[in-house]
Amino acid sequence: MKVKTQSKKVNKAWLNDHVNDPYVKLATREGYRARAAYKLKEIDETLGLVKPGHLVVDLGSAPGAWSQYLRRKMSPSGAAIGELNGTIVALDLLPMAPVEGVQFLQGDFREPEMLARLTEVLQGRLADVVVSDMAPNLSGIESADASRVAHLVELALEFTQTHMKPEGALVVKVFHGSGYNELVKLFKASFRTVKPIKPKASRDKSSETFLVGMGRKT
């Protein structure tokens, strides 16, 4: 019973924090599906990644907050609907409600069928920016979780080798702890410029952070 009570207390505390979170309130007010939109917004505004006319690929896009941000950023008027100056392609294993102007593909981009669909949508173009908010279901076992996170980062890196311009940029979610330093080394071996960023919208209690790699090393 003690375990159950503790669990209820933790859930109640999380819910209280979530409801009172200023970014959750802001997301609701501004029509974003999740507070995660403000993480990408800060990363983008800090580094100037996304520009008009760009082709951006959003890996692990559901529920769609990052795609929503990209859509507004690439709209001449900053609107969620209407004209769009650029191309956004979103992929996820999970379903995602439509975001106007965003081409969504549901499936696993490691599968040949999905890659063929993606290639068709890209029409021979390479991405200017690839963003990945992919994260595994964490088990609490540090070594296992580090391995799962590393696997997703490696998949995103592999994706950029064939689907991103050499001067492009990749944004991935990582976690501080076991395996973090190895992922930084991997990024430094893959990109000319590497920036770790902990956005203000990422909760202080969370070990979540983001790595940005710019300019692929060939």
Which two tokens mark 147? 């391995």
Is 173 an active-site residue? yes
Which of 39, 41, 73, 173 is catalytic? The answer is 173
Within its chain, how far is the Cα of 143 from the centroid? 23
The torsion angle over the Cα atoms of residues 197, 194, 183 and 131, rounded to 10 degrees, is 70
Contact 150, 182 (CB under 8 A): yes
Per DSSP, 107 falls in state S
Q: Identity (one letter) of the amino acid at 184?
A: V
Residue with tokens 């001067």: 167
Give phi and psi for 93, each to the nearest 5: -70, -30
Residues annotated as part of the active site: 173
